[in-house]
C-alpha cells in the first residue's frame, strides 16, 4: 500500500469550526452534595431571604442604641439584663428603654432592639450590664435579606460551582441543582513503542505520557476522562478500540499514528467507521492531526509528541469540552492590579480584603467588596483577595497590589453595574446574556454607585435618590459632568402592613402611635419618608423631630426592603415603608404612597461601548418592559 500524504491542510480556526457541530449540551439534576465543579444549567433565584430574620452578628447584648450614647470607660451606661437569647431560640422577650438582652452570634434580635454591644465592651454585675462603648442603630446586626433577598438572582447559568457557590446554594435552601452533564471522553494512546507508567521499559519503549496529560486536561476543562489504555498499531485492534470507545463515551481522543509518513492506519480506519473532517492543520507543533465523526460523535486524533498533543488539545479540543460542560475561560492563580479606591485597614492584624477585578486602561483594577460580617453573598462578587499586613493602615487609590484568585477563572464582565440593587437588573443581565454580553452587578446603594461612576470604576450605576424638591435622580447626576442619566422604570413605594391591614392604616398621617420599622439614612426610601413627614409636621405645626418622637421605632433602621417585610411578618412592627414587589412576595398588605423612579447613571465617555449600546437596547425593548411588569414595576411611558 502506498503512503497517503496529508489532505488539504486547514487553518487552526477551521479545525475548531470542524468541531462546532458537536458543541451540544444536555442537562441533569444532581444532589447538592454532588454538584461541586459542575456548571449551572439555569439561573438560580432565591426563594428565601438570607438571613430570614434580623440576627446578631456578634456575641453581646441587644440594646436600644440611644441607651448607650455617651458611654465610655470612665462613665459606663448601666442597663438592666432582661434575659438571654441563644442561636435558634424563638425569643419571647423584648428590649425596653434601659434594658438589654444577652444574645449569641446568630441569635434572633429581640423586639425593640436596634443594635448589639459586643460582650468585650461590657461587664456584668448581678443583673446589670455596664456598657463601656456606645453603638449606633444597626451596629453588629445583620438584617433580613441583607445577604440575599427573596427573588434575587444569586447565581447565573454558566457558573462553575466551587465551595463558594455551593455555600450559597445551601444558604438559599436548594437540595438539588440542575447542571450541564460532563462529557465522558474516551482516551486511547496508539503505538507499539508505548508502555504504561509503572511498568519496566523494554529497549525502544517509552512511557505513555499523552493519555494522562490529556486526561488531566479533560478534567481541568470539565469533562470526565475514561482511560482505555494502549492500542497496538494494527488496523483491526485500532478499529475495534474505536468502535468500543464510541459506545462508552461522548468524545473519543487518541494520540499517535497520525503522521502520513508513519502510517495511514488512523485515516483509513476513521474513514471506514465514519468520516474524516480534517487531516492536517497548518500549525507547528500539531500538523499531523485528524478530526472525524463516527456515529454522531467527535473523534480527534492528536499527534504523538506530547508537546504537539497538548497544543492541539488546548487550542482545538478543550474549547469543545468546556462548552459541552458549560465552562468559561480560564485565568491564572495570582494577578497584579491597582486599587480602584482608597481602603483603610484596621492595623494590628492581617486582613484578607475581598476584591473584584475589572479591566482598566492601565491594567487590572481591584475594587473592594465589602458587604459586612457573615455576608455569604460577598463571595459571589469577589474574584480574589488582597493580603493586607498587620502594619498597613491604608491602601491608597492606584497602589499596586497582588490579587490571589479564589478560583481558576476571572469572569471579566462586558458591563459593570454598581449601585442600588433591583430585581430589574437581573432581567437586564439575562437579556444581555442572550445578546452575548456578560454583566456583573455590585450592590452598594445609590450613593455608592454614583461614587463608582465619579471614579470611573463602573460603566453604569443603578440609582433611586430623591432630592428635597421631590425629584428623583436628576440633580444628583447633574453634579457628575462625566455621566448621563438614562431613564429606567417605575417602582411603587408605599406602606407595608400586615395582611388585611388590621390596624386600618391609610397613610403617613396614621404612623404616630404605630410600631414602625425605618430604613437607613441616605437611602431613597428613607429620604421619601422624611419628606412626607416634614409635610405632615408642617400641617400639624410641629417639627420633624417632634413628630418622629411619636412614632415608636422611627430610629430602628433596616438595610433592605426585605428586612422591613420580615419585621412586619414577625410582629416586631406594625408598618414600614418599602416597595410593592416585596410586600406581594411576602403576602403582606400595601398602601400606595408614590411612584419611585429607578434610573441609571451611565459613563458619558463609554456610550459607544458595545455592551452599553446593548444595555440601552435592552431598556428600550418590548421584552424588557413585559418582564419588569411581571415584577410589579412599570415601564416609562
Indicate whether 434 and 492 sit together in one domain: yes
Indicate whether 69 and 16 sit together in one domain: no
pLDDT of residue 257: 63
pLDDT of residue 382: 77
Indicate whether 63 and 135 sit together in one domain: yes
H/E segment holding residue 249? none
Indicate whether 441 and 310 sit together in one domain: no
Indicate whether 174 and 238 sit together in one domain: no
Q: Are 343 and 395 in contact (CB under 8 A)?
A: yes
CB half-sphere exposure, 592, CA atoms < 13 A: 7
* CA pair distance 286, 176, nearest whole angstrom: 42
Lowest-confidence segment of 154-163, 276-285, 614-623 by average pLDDT: 276-285
* CA pair distance 479, 469, nearest whole angstrom: 16
* CA pair distance 298, 15, nearest whole angstrom: 12
- Average pLDDT, integer, range 479-497: 94
Domain extent for 588: 423-635
Indicate whether 445 and 594 sit together in one domain: yes
DSSP secondary structure letters along 189-221: EE-TTEE-TTSPPPTT-EE--HHHHHHHHHHHT
Indicate whether 19 and 110 sit together in one domain: no
Indicate whether 66 and 96 sit together in one domain: yes
CATH of the domain at 441: 3.40.190.290
Q: Is residue 4 part of a domain?
A: no
Indicate whether 455 and 534 sit together in one domain: yes
Average pLDDT of every residue of the chain: 88
pLDDT tens column, 616-626: 999 999 999 99
Cis ω on the peptide bond leading into residue 51 (within 30° of 0)? Answer: yes
Q: Are 290 and 4 in contact (CB under 8 A)?
A: no
* CA pair distance 264, 257, nearest whole angstrom: 8
CA dihedral sign, ordered 499, 501, 507, 511: negative
Q: Is the pLDDT of residue 223 over 90?
A: yes
Q: Is the pLDDT of residue 598 over 90?
A: yes
Q: Is residue 7 part of a domain?
A: no
Lowest-confidence segment of 78-82, 108-112, 442-446, 561-565 by average pLDDT: 442-446
Q: Which three cell numbers stand for residue 312?
A: 492541539
Q: Which residue has the cell 437581573?
A: 426
CATH of the domain at 315: 3.40.980.10
CATH of the domain at 110: 2.170.190.11
pLDDT of residue 350: 66
pLDDT of residue 343: 86
Q: Is residue 163 part of a domain?
A: yes
Confidence of residue 13 (pLDDT cuts 50, 70, 90): confident
Confidence of residue 393 (pLDDT cuts 50, 70, 90): confident
Q: Is residue 18 part of a domain?
A: yes
Q: Is residue 431 part of a domain?
A: yes
Lowest-confidence segment of 2-16, 198-212, 308-322, 594-608 by average pLDDT: 2-16
pLDDT of residue 427: 93
pLDDT tens column, 494-543: 999 999 999 999 999 999 999 999 988 867 788 889 989 999 999 999 99
Q: Is residue 539 part of a domain?
A: yes
Indicate whether 599 and 473 sit together in one domain: yes
Confidence of residue 1 (pLDDT cuts 50, 70, 90): very low
Q: Is residue 418 part of a domain?
A: no
* CA pair distance 318, 312, nearest whole angstrom: 9
- Average pLDDT, integer, range 247-251: 96
Confidence of residue 378 (pLDDT cuts 50, 70, 90): low
Indicate whether 296 and 429 sit together in one domain: no
User: Which domain-ending residue is among 142, 171, 200?
Assistant: 142
User: Which domain-ending residue is among 412, 431, 448?
Assistant: 412
pLDDT tens column, 300-329: 999 887 767 877 888 889 999 999 999 876
pLDDT tens column, 104-157: 999 999 999 999 999 999 999 999 999 999 999 999 999 999 889 999 999 999
Q: What count of other Cβ atoms lies within 10 Å of the Cβ of residue 341?
A: 17
- Average pLDDT, integer, range 39-50: 94
pLDDT tens column, 328-355: 766 457 889 999 878 887 666 667 788 8
User: Which domain-ending residue is among 355, 383, 412?
Assistant: 412
Q: Is residue 373 part of a domain?
A: yes
Range from 205-209, 236-240, 290-294, 445-449 that averages highest in pLDDT: 290-294
Indicate whether 170 and 191 sit together in one domain: no
| Residue 254 phi, psi dihedral angles, 5° rounding | -125, 165
What's the number of domains the chain is made of? 5
3-state helix, strand, coil in the chain (%, to 5): 25, 30, 40
CB half-sphere exposure, 145, CA atoms < 13 A: 25
pLDDT of residue 348: 63
Q: Which three cell numbers stand for residue 46?
A: 432565591
* CA pair distance 505, 510, nearest whole angstrom: 6
CATH of the domain at 174: 3.90.105.10
In terms of Cα–Cα distance, which of 156, 165, 176, 177 is closest to 376?
A: 165
Confidence of residue 297 (pLDDT cuts 50, 70, 90): very high
Amino acid at each position: 500500500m502506498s503512503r497517503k500524504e496529508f489532505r488539504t491542510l486547514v487553518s487552526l480556526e477551521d479545525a475548531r469550526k470542524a468541531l462546532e457541530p458537536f458543541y451540544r449540551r444536555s442537562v441533569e439534576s444532581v444532589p447538592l452534595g454532588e454538584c461541586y465543579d459542575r456548571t449551572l444549567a439555569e439561573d438560580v433565584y432565591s426563594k428565601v431571604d438570607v438571613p430570614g430574620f434580623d440576627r446578631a452578628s456578634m456575641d453581646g447584648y441587644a440594646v436600644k442604641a440611644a441607651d448607650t450614647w455617651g458611654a465610655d470607660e470612665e462613665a459606663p451606661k448601666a442597663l438592666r439584663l432582661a434575659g438571654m437569647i441563644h442561636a435558634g431560640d424563638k425569643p419571647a422577650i423584648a428590649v425596653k428603654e434601659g434594658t438589654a438582652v444577652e444574645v449569641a452570634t446568630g441569635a434572633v434580635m429581640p423586639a425593640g432592639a436596634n443594635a448589639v454591644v459586643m460582650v468585650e465592651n461590657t461587664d456584668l454585675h448581678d443583673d446589670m450590664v455596664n456598657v463601656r462603648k456606645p453603638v449606633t442603630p444597626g451596629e453588629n446586626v445583620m438584617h433580613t435579606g441583607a445577604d440575599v433577598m427573596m427573588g434575587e438572582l444569586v447565581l447565573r447559568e454558566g457558573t462553575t460551582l466551587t465551595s463558594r457557590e455551593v455555600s450559597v446554594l445551601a444558604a438559599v435552601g436548594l437540595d438539588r441543582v440542575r447542571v450541564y452533564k460532563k462529557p465522558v471522553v474516551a482516551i486511547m494512546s496508539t503505538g507499539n513503542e508505548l508502555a504504561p507508567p509503572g511498568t519496566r521499559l523494554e529497549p525502544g519503549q517509552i512511557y505513555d505520557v499523552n493519555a494522562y496529560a490529556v486526561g488531566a486536561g479533560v478534567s481541568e476543562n470539565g469533562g470526565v476522562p475514561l482511560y482505555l489504555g494502549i492500542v497496538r498499531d494494527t488496523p483491526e485492534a485500532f478499529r475495534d478500540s474505536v468502535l468500543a470507545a464510541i459506545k462508552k463515551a461522548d468524545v473519543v481522543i487518541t494520540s499517535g499514528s497520525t503522521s502520513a509518513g508513519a502510517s495511514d492506519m488512523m485515516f483509513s480506519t476513521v474513514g471506514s467507521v465514519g468520516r474524516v473532517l480534517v487531516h492536517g492543520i497548518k500549525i507547528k507543533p500539531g500538523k499531523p492531526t485528524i478530526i472525524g465523526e463516527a456515529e454522531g460523535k467527535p473523534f480527534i486524533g492528536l499527534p504523538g509528541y506530547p508537546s504537539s498533543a497538548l497544543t492541539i488539545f488546548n487550542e482545538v479540543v478543550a474549547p469543545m469540552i468546556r462548552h459541552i460542560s458549560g465552562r468559561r475561560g480560564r485565568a491564572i492563580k495570582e494577578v497584579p492590579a491597582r486599587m480602584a479606591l482608597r481602603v483603610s485597614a484596621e492595623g494590628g492584624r492581617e486582613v484578607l480584603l475581598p476584591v473584584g477585578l475589572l479591566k482598566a486602561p492601565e491594567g487590572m483594577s481591584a475594587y473592594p467588596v465589602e458587604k459586612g460580617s457573615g455576608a455569604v453573598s460577598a463571595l459571589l462578587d469577589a474574584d480574589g483577595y488582597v493580603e493586607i499586613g498587620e502594619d498597613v493602615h491604608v491602601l491608597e487609590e492606584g497602589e499596586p497590589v497582588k490579587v490571589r484568585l479564589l478560583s481558576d477563572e476571572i469572569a471579566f464582565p462586558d458591563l459593570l453595574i454598581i449601585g442600588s440593587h433591583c430585581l430589574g437588573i437581573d432581567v437586564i443581565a439575562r437579556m444581555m446574556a442572550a445578546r452575548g454580553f456578560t454583566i456583573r452587578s455590585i450592590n452598594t446603594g445609590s450613593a455608592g454607585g454614583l461614587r463608582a461612576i465619579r471614579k470611573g470604576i463602573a460603566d453604569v450605576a443603578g440609582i433611586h435618590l430623591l432630592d428635597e424638591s421631590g425629584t428623583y435622580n436628576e440633580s444628583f447626576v447633574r453634579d457628575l459632568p462625566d455621566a448621563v442619566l438614562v431613564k429606567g422604570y417605575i417602582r411603587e413605594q408605599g406602606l407595608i402592613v400586615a395582611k388585611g391591614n388590621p390596624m386600618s392604616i391609610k397613610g403617613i398621617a396614621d404612623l404616630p402611635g404605630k410600631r414602625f420599622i425605618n430604613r437607613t439614612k441616605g437611602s431613597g426610601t428613607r429620604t421619601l419618608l422624611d419628606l412626607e413627614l416634614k409635610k405632615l409636621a408642617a400641617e400639624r405645626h410641629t417639627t420633624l423631630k417632634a413628630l418622629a418622637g411619636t412614632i415608636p421605632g422611627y430610629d430602628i433602621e433596616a438595610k433592605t426592603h426585605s428586612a422591613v417585610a420580615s419585621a412586619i411578618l414577625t410582629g416586631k412592627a406594625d408598618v414600614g415603608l418599602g416597595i410593592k414587589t416585596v410586600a406581594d412576595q411576602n403576602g403582606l398588605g400595601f398602601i400606595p404612597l408614590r411612584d419611585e423612579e429607578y434610573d441609571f447613571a451611565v459613563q458619558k465617555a463609554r456610550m459607544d461601548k458595545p455592551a452599553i449600546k446593548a444595555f440601552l437596547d435592552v431598556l428600550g425593548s418590548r421584552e424588557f418592559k413585559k418582564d419588569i411588569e411581571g415584577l410589579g414595576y412599570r415601564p416609562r411611558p
